[in-house]
Amino acid sequence: MEQVSLGLAYLGVALAALMAGIGSAVGIGIAGRSAAGVLSEKPERYGQLFLQVVLPGTQGFYGFVIAFFAMQKIAAFEAGVDLSSALAILAACLPIAFAGMLSAIHQGKTCAGGILMTAKRPEMAVKAGVLYAAMVEVYAVLGFLISLLILLSINPPAGA
């Protein structure tokens, strides 16, 4: 039973890093394609577009940090992870896994729109392009915070 519990806890670790990382890769890909199109005509806009291309990558970092904290939490269980704690760790990793993946993809789409707008109206790059994308980021941050708060509240059972 201990191996099943450990496997469930590590499933949470894997999902946090994997799903948020996939979302970031897809989001950066979406924004990067738009930027490549704009830069082929207006290479001087590179500096304005860079932030909008890399912004969806932050969710991958959030997932990585939660995965790291979850591994530290698993290591704190010296007597082994019991089933209820393993399920708690798995559940704690799910908010950033899903919020990170979905927000990164949608942030990439938002950034792509901002990139296309920047091509025609460069003065709007930060005002609208980055700020609209940052609004999507809020939900990744909320997923990160919920995951972190849940992980911090999980403690080994008394006497373990």
Domain hosting residue 29, numbered range: 2-153
Does the residue 158 lie in any domain?
no
Does the residue 71 lie in any domain?
yes
The 10s digit of each residue's pLDDT in 107-119 is 999 999 999 998 8
Does the residue 90 lie in any domain?
yes
Does the residue 30 lie in any domain?
yes
CATH number for the domain that contains residue 129:
1.20.120.610
Does the residue 111 lie in any domain?
yes
Binned at pLDDT 50, 70 and 90, residue 66 comes out as very high
Does the residue 68 lie in any domain?
yes
Does the residue 159 lie in any domain?
no
Q: Which amino acid belongs to residue 123? A: E
Number of domains in the chain: 1
The 10s digit of each residue's pLDDT in 35-48 is 999 999 999 989 88
| Of residues 103 and 160, more confidently modeled | 103
